[in-house]
Structure 1
Amino acid sequence: MKARILLLLTFSSIFTFGQDVKDIVRQADEKFRGTSSTGKLTMTIQRPGWSRTISMKNWTLGNEYSLIYITAPAKEKGQVFLKRESEMWNWVPSIERMIKIPPSMMMQSWMGSDFTNDDLVKESSLVKDYDHKLLGKELIEGYECYKIELIPLEDAAVVWGKIYMWVSEKELLWLKAEFYDEDEDLVNTEILSDIKQMDDRIMPTHLEMIPSDKPGQKTIMIFEEIDFDVNLKESFFSIQNMKRIR
C-alpha cells in the first residue's frame, strides 16, 4: 500500500513539474505579445561586406493574428505581411499583388534576413506544438536560467526538429535559444539582451539571430516601442485592411 501511495505521489509530482515547465515557456513567450500589442521595430541585416536596416510597425492579437507594415527603406515601404490563423499573406504595393505564402515556404528567409517566415509570424506554437523538458540551470549574461528542451509533437506542423531555450529563473525572460533541424544539426542561435521596461513589463529589446554555418552573418531585431493589451479586433487582421494600413 505504501509503495502504491509513493508511486502515485511520484507520478503526481512529475506531472505537476511537467506542467510548470510548459508554463515557463508560455510566460516567456507571452512577454513579447500579451493578449494584443502594437509596436515599432527595426531589423538590421548584417553580412561580411554590407548591412541594411528595415523599419516596421506591427500589430498582434494572441497567437493567431499578426500584421507587419514596412515603413522603410523606400524600396520596401508599404509591404504588408499578415498572419491570420494558419494562413500567411504578403501585399506588395509596387506590383499591386497579393501573395499567399504556402506552408512549404515557412522556412524561407523573411525579407532577406536570418529570420524565417515562421519566426516572424510564429505559425507554430512553442507551447502547444512541443513537449517540454527541464534539463537543468545555466548562467546566461548574469541571469540564472532554466535550460529547457522542446521536442515537437508527432503530429505538429513545425519547422524545427528540436529547440533549446534558456529562460531566466526569476523574471522568466527568454534570453537564448538554439534551433536544430530534423538531423539534430544546429541551424540558428538566438541571443536576446538589453532588458528594458516596455509598457507594463520588463523584457529583452535586442534580438540577434545568428546562423551556425555562415561566419560574419547575423540579423538584429530591436523593439523601439511597444504597447500591450491594446484594443484590437479580429476584423483588423483582414486581407482588405492590408491595402489600407499605414
Structure 2
Amino acid sequence: MSRKFIKKVKLIEKAKSIKRTAINSIFLIKPGLILWLSLLYLTLSPFFLVFLGHHCWGLPLEKQLSGEIILQRLDANLTSDNKIIQATMTVHGRRTSRTFRMKSWIQGTEKAFTEYLDPPRERGTKMLKIEDKLWLYSPDTDRIIMISGHMLRQSVMGSDLSYEDLMEDPVLHNLYTAEIIEDTIYENQPCWVLKLTAKKQDVAYHEKKLWVDKEKYIALYEEWYAKGGKLLKTISRQRVEKINNRWVPMEGIFKDVLKEGSGTEFKIEEITFNASIPEYIFSKANLRR
C-alpha cells in the first residue's frame, strides 16, 4: 500500500474517532442540560414563586418570618376600627386589694373614653383621650383636669399602670423595630422572643421584650426596660379566647417592679369589635354627662 493510501485511512479513522467522542459528549451533557433547563423553568414558573412564599427551600414558615413581620401580625390581631370593653381592674397592694369595674369605648388608636362603674366611691370618674391629650373628670370636685407633664407618670387609681402607659401608641411597630432573639416555650406554648428597640428617644420604654405565641400572635409575656437597661414593668397574659376571628387575652397581670404589691390584675368581662360608637362619646362635654 502506498503511503498516500495509508495516510488517507488514518485520517478517516481519526475523523470517526472525533465523531464518536462528540456524540458521546452530547449524551453525557444532555441529562445535566435537561436538569438545568427544568430547574430554570420551575424557578421562573408562578407555581414555584408561590411555593417559595410558603416554604423557602424547605425551611418551615416560622423560620422565614422576621421580627418586623411578627410584630405587624401581633398589632393586626388586636387593633380594630373601634371596640367596646367592659372589664375589672384589681389593684393588689402591699396589705389590701381594691377592685374597679369600668367600661371603655375605643376608636382606632387616637380616641378612647373610659367610665368607672364601681366601687361607689369612684363611680362616675371618667377619662377621655384624644390623640396626645388626656382629660380626667372627678364627680367629687366636678372638675375636668388635663393630665400632662409630670402628672403622666402618676399611677392610675393606685394601680401599676401610669397615665403615660395609657397614652402610648398601641400599634407597636409605629414605635419600635423588632428582631427575633430566641425560640422558647412559655406556659407550654411555643414562642418567639422579640427584642423591641425604640425608633425615637422620647418614649417611656427604650426597649421591650415580648414572648409571642407562634400560633395566636399574642404577647403572652412582656418586659419593659428603661434606656439604661433597667427592668421597669412586666405584663403576663392568660385565658386567650377567639372572638370574631381574633385571639384576645381575657386576663392579665401588670406589674411595676419598682412598686410594692403583687401587681394589677385585669379581666375582660365583655368585648365587642367594630361596634357603632356615637361621636359624642369622645367629647369633653361627655365627661360631665
TM range (shorter): 0.7 to 0.9
User: Does 1:189 pair with 2:234?
Assistant: yes
Identity of aligned residues (%): 26
Deviations 1:174-216 (A, max 9, x none): 2010011122111111100111233442321111012324464
Deviations 1:76-116 (A, max 9, x none): 11011111011111111211100101143333211110011
Match of 2:277 in 1: 232
Higher relative contact order (CA 8 A, sep 6+): 1
Q: What is the correspondence of 1:56-205 to structure 2 with a 5 Å cutoff? A: 56-123=102-169, 125-155=171-201, 157-205=202-250
In terms of fraction of residues, the more helix-rich structure is 2
Q: 1:57 corresponds to which letter in structure 2?
A: K
Does the aligned pair in 1 maintain the 2:132–2:167 contact within 8 Å?
Answer: no
| TM-score after normalising by structure 2 | 0.72
Cα distance change, pair 51–145 in 1 and its aligned pair in 2 (3 A): same
Aligned residue pairs, count:
228
Q: How far apart are the structure 2 equivalents of 1:126 and 1:42?
A: 24
Does the aligned pair in 1 maintain the 2:125–2:137 contact within 8 Å?
Answer: yes
Cα distance change, pair 125–172 in 1 and its aligned pair in 2 (3 A): closer
Match of 1:3 in 2: none
The CA RMSD over aligned residues, in Å, is 2.3
Deviation at 1:162, TM superposition (A): 1.1
Deviation at 1:71, TM superposition (A): 0.3
Deviation at 1:136, TM superposition (A): 2.1
Deviations 1:224-244 (A, max 9, x none): 100001123655311112222
Unaligned 5+ segments in structure 2 are: 1-55, 57-62
SS at match of 1:106: helix
Does the aligned pair in 2 maintain the 1:66–1:121 contact within 8 Å?
Answer: no
Q: Which stretch of structure 1 is more off in the superposition, 125-134 or 168-177?
A: 125-134
Unaligned 5+ segments in structure 1 are: 1-12
User: Does 1:27 pair with 2:73?
Assistant: yes
Does the aligned pair in 2 maintain the 1:144–1:169 contact within 8 Å?
Answer: yes
| TM-score after normalising by structure 1 | 0.84
SS at match of 2:216: coil
Does the aligned pair in 1 maintain the 2:161–2:256 contact within 8 Å?
Answer: no
Cα distance change, pair 125–118 in 1 and its aligned pair in 2 (3 A): farther
Match of 1:9 in 2: none
SS at match of 2:174: coil
Does the aligned pair in 1 maintain the 2:169–2:175 contact within 8 Å?
Answer: no
Does the aligned pair in 1 maintain the 2:234–2:255 contact within 8 Å?
Answer: yes
